[in-house]
Amino acid sequence: MFLDVSGLTIVYVLIEIQSMKRPTIESILKEKRLFQPPAGFSENAHIKSLEQYKQLYEQAKADPQGFWADLAAQELHWFEKWTQVLDWQPPFVKWFVGGKMNISYNCLDRHLTTWRRNKAALIWEGEPGDSRTLTYAQLHREVCQMANVFKQLGVQKGDRVGIYMPMIPEAAIAMLACARIGAPHTVVFGGFSAEALKDRLVDAEAKLVVTADGGWRKDAIVPLKVQVDKALANDGAPSVENVLVVKRTAQEIKMEPGRDHWWHDLQATASPDCPAEPMDSEDMLFILYTSGTTGKPKGVVHTTGGYNLYTHMTLKWAFDIQDTDVYWCTADVGWITGHSYIVYGPLSNGATSLMYEGAPRPSNPGCLWDVVEKYGVNIFYTAPTAIRAFIKMGEHHLLSRNLSSLRLLGTVGEPINPEAWIWYHRIIGGERCPIVDTWWQTETGGFMLTPLPAATPTKPGSATLPFPGIIADVVDLEGNPVADNQGGYLVIRHPWPSMMRTVYGDPDRFRRTYWEHIAPKDGQYLYFAGDGARRDEDGYFWVMGRVDDVINVAGHRLGTMEIESALVSHPAVAEAAVVSKPDPVKGEDVVAFVTLEGSQNASDQLKDELKQHVVQEIGAIARPGEIRFTDALPKTRSGKIMRRLLRSLAGGQEIAGDTSTLEDRSVLDKLRGGA
């Protein structure tokens, strides 16, 4: 079984350590501690008690349509009400059919007629000490201007826009401007290579690319515009007509006349008047590419109404967001966590969302805590890999910082080992902050399993219970629920509002990937998450990690096939098999077993070259930690690579289990001998 994840900015810090223990299934199985919601927390909480949670859960289970429809009417603005709450033609779903709304209206305009007009919507802390705060009124103005700029550049409702940006407010402005005019965005993480960017722009047929001259990362400039130029060179992405460039780092860059435009130039003359386009509830809001089990990343499609409702409700109830809170999610906007919980969820709630461009680095390992102190952050959301890195950095960074503003801590991305959970609770949370461990995915749009902080007693390492309206289960391959504490596949039984709608341009892949692994049971289709899990005697879920060929390196989700394809595209490589090995900070690290073309000689130099090649093809997040050359890969008689064996070898474990299907046993002996 593999462990997988999401993607959080700060995880770049990470180097190997021996002292921290990785979660083992045994340690998680033995975990029995229970932490009650802190006294006094429930007084002002949106959901005040376990009884209230149970009642909401039962209500939603008995009448999901009524439950979501009531919330949609209470919590969101609609230009026109829907005519049908749910249209479920498995596996294709529609929510709030016929309803008209605009998520940028819900995130901005509706707050302008309230006292929130002059409240901070975004607080931005930039890497070399820059900072900026945008109130709701200011953010609205800039979004409207950009929406007009996009229109001026020929973007129409339905056209796709690529966003390849550093963590600056303009990234959120561009997303909201797209939403405002009904142009689906596809945000590509700024750490992806030109090649990966090109693939995504081509698949989405983006008409416009929004980027910056560069971004700051750990005291250096990431040359984003150079990557865009590479991606578009030789008509690489022919659909792209214009490139809009934010001046961030101000180094010399090439601007191609007719194609490239400066953001600030066009903004200067753009009208701040741009009414939000009434969108159909089911109009596409964005495509976000994520790794799967085949080579090509898939474009996960999310639509408007259900996504808005679900991200709004989950943030409100699970993070108990209040008007007085400064809320900080450390993810990058290039990942789903950034979409749902830096931009749309917080702004829809009228909250103050903090965006940070920086990352802990040797010259300033305690920089995150400075940000907490500077802005009095109340809610802090990060990933286990980051927490393990903080532990490694030592507690002395914390002693001089005042973290007393914190009242709630969140985690996402991979199973959190109980040791890291306890450290987070004790050292960062001062034993007073509930820890909200949220299990979810790019595909689910929002939190699926999560404690509600004033209601749910927590157990370190468990994402606890399903959010109201989510019917989760652990089943075998036939779809039969397994007994308590037995491992199985994590599935969801009923569609929820922010469920992905399809794989962009490939509905068959959507069906195959998520709906056919587990047989439909009694006419009921089960959403297969790709994770293994167990449920304990209290109904708590313990997610164990991926059961497919997806691995999770420092909070980034990567497909092993993607990395293999990158390796074999190098002329020296004949064959490659990629597996993961446990890593104490990153969770997992990439190990590549490589066979070379006949004339090639194995050398350390070639290893470095291959690592660099993967960086070029995908991005630094996919750089193999280790490359092992071998004469042959262990295969079954039918030619399938036996990854299980490679995984054991990579992790330095004994080969256990059946090896009788191995075609050539000497391959194994050679590999063991340390190829």
Q: Give contact residues for ligand WTA (rule: CB under 6 A).
A: 4-7, 290, 335-337, 412-415, 437-442, 463, 529-531, 543, 545-546, 557
Q: Chain centroid to CA 30: how far? A: 29
> For residue 473, what are the β-bridge partners?
491
Residue type, 102: N
The closest alpha carbon to 446, from 427, 430, 429, 470, belongs to: 470
Task: Look at residue 212 and give its three-state secondary structure.
Answer: strand
Residue with Cβ nearer ligand WTA (249 or 438): 438
Helices (H) and strands (E) in the chain, counts: 22, 30
Residue 555 Ramachandran class (φ > 0 left, ψ -120 to 50 alpha, else beta): left
Query: At closest approach, how far in Å is the CB of 449 from ligand WTA?
Result: 7
Q: Which string of DSSP letters, residue by residue, matches 277-308?
A: PPEETTSEEEEEEE--SSSSPEEEEEESHHHH
C-alpha–C-alpha distance, residues 438 and 331, integer Å: 14
Q: Report the nearest approach of ligand WTA to the CB of residue 336 (Å).
A: 5
Nearer to ligand WTA, 306 or 545 (CB): 545
Nearer to ligand WTA, 153 or 389 (CB): 389
Cβ at position 661, least distance to ligand WTA in Å: 28
Q: Report the SS3 class of residue 315.
A: helix
Q: What six digits make up the tokens of 85?
A: 């709450």
Residue 328 identity (one-letter amino acid): W
Least separation in angstroms between CB 104 and ligand WTA? 23
Q: How far apart are CA 369 and CA 558, in angstroms?
A: 29
Q: Which CB, 106 or 464, lies closer to ligand WTA?
A: 464
Report, in Å, the least distance between residue 503 CB and ligand WTA: 14
Instruction: Closer to ligand WTA by CB, 551 or 577: give it.
Output: 551
Q: Decide whether 6 or 630 has the Cβ nearer to ligand WTA.
A: 6
Q: Closer CB to ligand WTA, residue 2 or residue 150? A: 2
Q: Which two tokens stand for residue 138?
A: 């200011």
Q: Which of 162, 169, 172 is nearest to 206 (CA)?
A: 162
Q: In whole angstroms, how close is the CB of 339 to ligand WTA at the nearest point?
A: 10
501 touches 303 (CB < 8 A): yes
Helix pair 169-181, 136-152: axis angle to 10 deg: 60
Smallest distance from the beta carbon of 454 to ligand WTA, in angstroms? 19
Q: How far is CA 190 from CA 166, 195, 211, 383, 423, in A?
A: 6, 12, 9, 19, 31
- In the complex, the smallest distance separating the C-beta of residue 362 from ligand WTA, rounded to whole angstroms, is 27
Q: What stretch of H or E contains 187?
A: strand 185-187
**Toward ligand WTA, which CB reaches closer, 169 or 461?**
461
Q: Min. distance of Cβ 652 from ligand WTA in angstroms?
A: 23
* Residue closer to ligand WTA, measured from CB, 6 or 102: 6
Pairing between strand 527-535 and 488-492? antiparallel
Which residue sits closest to ligand WTA, CB atoms considered?
6
**Residues 602, 587 contacting (CB under 8 angstroms):** no
Which of 229, 549 has the CB closer to ligand WTA? Answer: 549
Minimum distance between the CB of residue 84 and ligand WTA, rounded to whole angstroms? Answer: 29
